[in-house]
Structure 1
């Protein structure tokens, strides 16, 4: 399979001290989220806890939402690495249909696990922080490898991508007071994804 890497993680050419500060701030933000939840993470609080100046935090992230975008970027990269180089069936080496099913199940779990961070990463002038491009490309490659042939394959891939990423996008577009997707929705969505793939390749 052709390797593809989307632009997540630290920027190229980042100075060593800047990279260290970035990793410190992300680790500190994760600690704060684990202890107190997303709502309690502020720019000032993050700077104080990390022992860095507020200017460093603002230069690194720009806005509070930027903190959560950076967290998502880092987690998306780790997820992508699991897909590209991890063990099968999510990673290479498995039958492409098994990989399609495994990818859907893993992606659904990832999106549900990142609900609060995704909502906190929303900014008015930027798209929702969901990496659907990665999903669309990966699904298209696996469908091709599986020998799935039907009219409008690009459109089919878009629809399958929406089946995975859509519930999260709908949740993010809802009012801020709307409840998050419940954890017990994961097996239902994952099982439905497997049925969809198995029916598609018959």
Structure 2
């Protein structure tokens, strides 16, 4: 999640978006180290999905991954860094999909189709790691808005809105469209109010359609 700082301007071309960094890209590493990294992240993700993030332990991750616990500590340092690495692993795939992947999420579709596809994909991405994202967005308070991933989402949505409605306040409207996908609100809707994921996506469509047709 915590990629490096991104430029503050709103990109207006696809080339601008393609040049933006993908969050959490790991440094070049030996093949055996990369293999161990993938095994550890896969094991951590499975354990979090099964038992929740609060139950995650470095010892259990090592046992599940089939590596020594020292390998886990040397690679990730501590439990908190491992949790963020699990988030980043999924985040890289998501960002690569909307920056470089096939349409309608990636380049090649019309701006309205890309906007709807992005909102749906972000809902799926939030659903997949909701508990982890709640933790990441709350530590420290307001972390969501200082995170490089949010800035990239905002730039992407603002770029699409600028193409759909030239002259509109794309920066403000991008924040408005992303606000319902804050992890704490998403979890409240899904678990407290019992909203199906399809209902949330339909609501996002209604918000987007209001912008596209006004």
Same fold, TM-score > 0.5, yes or no: yes
* Alpha-carbon contact 2:22-2:96 (below 8 Å) kept: no
- The answer to whether the 8 A contact 1:85-1:91 is kept is yes
Within 2, Cα distance between the matches of 1:122 and 1:79?
17
Please identify which structure carries the higher helix content. Answer: 2
The answer on whether the counterparts of 2:40 and 2:65 sit within 8 Å (CA) in structure 1 is yes
- Which residue in the other structure is 1:32 paired with? 47
1:83 paired with 2:94, answer no
C-alpha deviation, 1:181, in angstroms: 5.8
Corresponding pairs, count: 194
| 5+ long unaligned stretches in structure 1 | none
The aligned runs of 1:15-164 (5 Å cut-off) are: 15-119=30-134, 124=139, 127-128=143-144, 131-150=149-168, 152-163=169-180
TM-score by length of 1: 0.78
Tell me, in whole angstroms, the C-alpha distance in 1 between the residues paired with 2:25 and 2:135.
20
When the two chains are superposed, the root-mean-square deviation of aligned CA atoms in Å is: 3.0
Stretches of structure 2 that go unaligned for 5 or more consecutive residues are 1-13
Greater Cα shift, 48-57 or 114-123: 114-123
